[in-house]
Structure 1
């Protein structure tokens, strides 16, 4: 069997962990890795909208490999998979245990979070490619300057340390950044945990829906692979993902929508918190509800409809690419 993945250091590390889990569950199984040079990895300067969002940038090429029969499984970061569309013929066969879903701030040497927070972000340039992070940072630190900054985690931090600007498609560059906001779990996975200046708690910056969850996708009619993957499925991660992705589905969110969502166990139930923001971060809608752990999609729908009743559909429509 073969599993498809991106070529990045982080993706390969995630894929090797999946192979190890499958090997433990199925000792006689041999799995090879097929690396895919995705559009988003080849072009580390353009905004992801150029490639049709995260799905087109990071998922489409690997799915094409599976549809051709080149691979039997595909590893994805779930937040890269569009939550507002179906994928005929494919199914998620395993949700891996959720890692730290929080965002983290990485600052250049000589800078610290205390000074950053005391200044309210004034005089600092923070780099990110996420419209959600940009909106939330503008909300929390109105005086901070947000600049477009893309690339693999290790290459972004190298540019940060070397005071290099982010390359642009026209050959120019942005100004160098003073800091980056990235997924805490990703930084730890590539051995850069020591660069974290501050981890934002979920009540400070709510993460992207399904952030921290890795999944394995396969063909819907490949029952043997689905049975094998079932052995490494994490029910808690699947429950949280079902609630968060149902919310995205009902909201019809897209890659340019600043939508955040986080589901977590609450006693014997599940609590889902979600936000929809405009691009400036000034207009923020928030909803929260609790529900039965065995009905995560119902909870996702309830929270999404609450947001829609507050005007979320209009905000999402205004941010939709034209």
Structure 2
């Protein structure tokens, strides 16, 4: 068995923290194993102005370069936030070798200094600016706070908070700008990873803002035929998180969503059963389609397929198609 493992990751503080956690777990599980972390500046990291769609969505912006290095044999494995991995397309030759136990999956509100939740509550948020780059979060915000102005806001987790605090405007690809933002919607897990959990002003209940499929799960991807690496990674795999990942990603596969689709999904395991809930919204948050089912925890893909097909039967395809770029 190899005594050295090269893992690729993004340069962001959050990605590095996640990869360092993987390295700690691997070296504890495999005595004598040396883990080398290889940092990549992905397209999504170097361009923090454009929306992600021109780069091929999150997959093209944050995942593609590191995946290519694994396929080329330059890396043994790659670390990804599972929610950044496209779920509606195959990547021949690669598999998820391990998932870490799931971090808190929910979304939270971070306020600019000087603002309070009362400011958001006034007149249902009229005149309040909330920044996000996620179409799912934007759709939910518009559904929950119809008067709020949602603005495009990019950057790594710590960078976004710094821009918020400084009152920086977000530059746009056309040379213009928006903002400054009064608040941001972010993943709780990301803030915790970069030591900014103390900035959380409000945590949205899962029933009010369903997370992105795979949110809070760290995945380690490797070559399908690299059995040595797969054996090593299996030693840190969390079976419950992996099952939830399979169920939620199966929904994405069935819906054939794309990077501009406001699709959400979350599963939890209780005993031998898994409960999976998923939703599809339109961009404005006006239309909302949801489905929830319970099934055997050891058959997550079947449950994901059933939930995805129920969403399609309720009209999800129309909303997804409507959100596709012209």
**Are 2:24 and 1:23 aligned?**
no
What is the aligned counterpart of 2:310 among 282, 301, 306?
306
Q: CA deviation at 1:118?
A: 4.5
What is the aligned counterpart of 1:272 among 270, 276, 280?
276
| Partner Cα distance (2:239, 2:271) in 1 | 16
Q: CA deviation at 1:116?
A: 1.5
| Partner Cα distance (1:23, 1:280) in 2 | 47
| Partner Cα distance (2:70, 2:290) in 1 | 38
**Are 2:107 and 1:103 aligned?**
yes
Q: CA deviation at 1:131?
A: 0.3
Q: TM-score, normalised by structure 2?
A: 0.97
**Helix, strand or coil at the partner of 2:222:** strand
2:152·2:178 contact (CA, 8 Å) conserved in 1? yes
| Partner Cα distance (1:117, 1:301) in 2 | 39
Unaligned runs of 5+ in 1: none
Unaligned runs of 5+ in 2: none
| Partner Cα distance (2:153, 2:112) in 1 | 14
**Are 2:216 and 1:212 aligned?**
yes
| Partner Cα distance (2:145, 2:7) in 1 | 42
| Partner Cα distance (1:109, 1:182) in 2 | 16
| Greater than 4 Å deviation, 4+ residue runs | none
Q: CA deviation at 1:267?
A: 4.4
**Are 2:202 and 1:228 aligned?**
no
2:10·2:42 contact (CA, 8 Å) conserved in 1? yes
Which residue is 1:52 aligned to? 56
Deviation sequence 1:141-176 (CA, Å, 0-9, x none):
101000000001111111111111101123322120
| Partner Cα distance (2:318, 2:100) in 1 | 34
2:214·2:248 contact (CA, 8 Å) conserved in 1? yes
Q: CA deviation at 1:112?
A: 1.6
**Are 2:50 and 1:73 aligned?**
no
| Partner Cα distance (1:170, 1:246) in 2 | 36
Q: TM-score, normalised by structure 1?
A: 0.98
- Worse-superposed segment, 224-233 or 297-306: 297-306
Report the count of equivalent residues: 322
| Partner Cα distance (1:306, 1:114) in 2 | 39
Q: CA deviation at 1:115?
A: 3.6
The change in CA–CA distance for 1:121 and 1:94 in structure 2 (over 3 A counts) is same
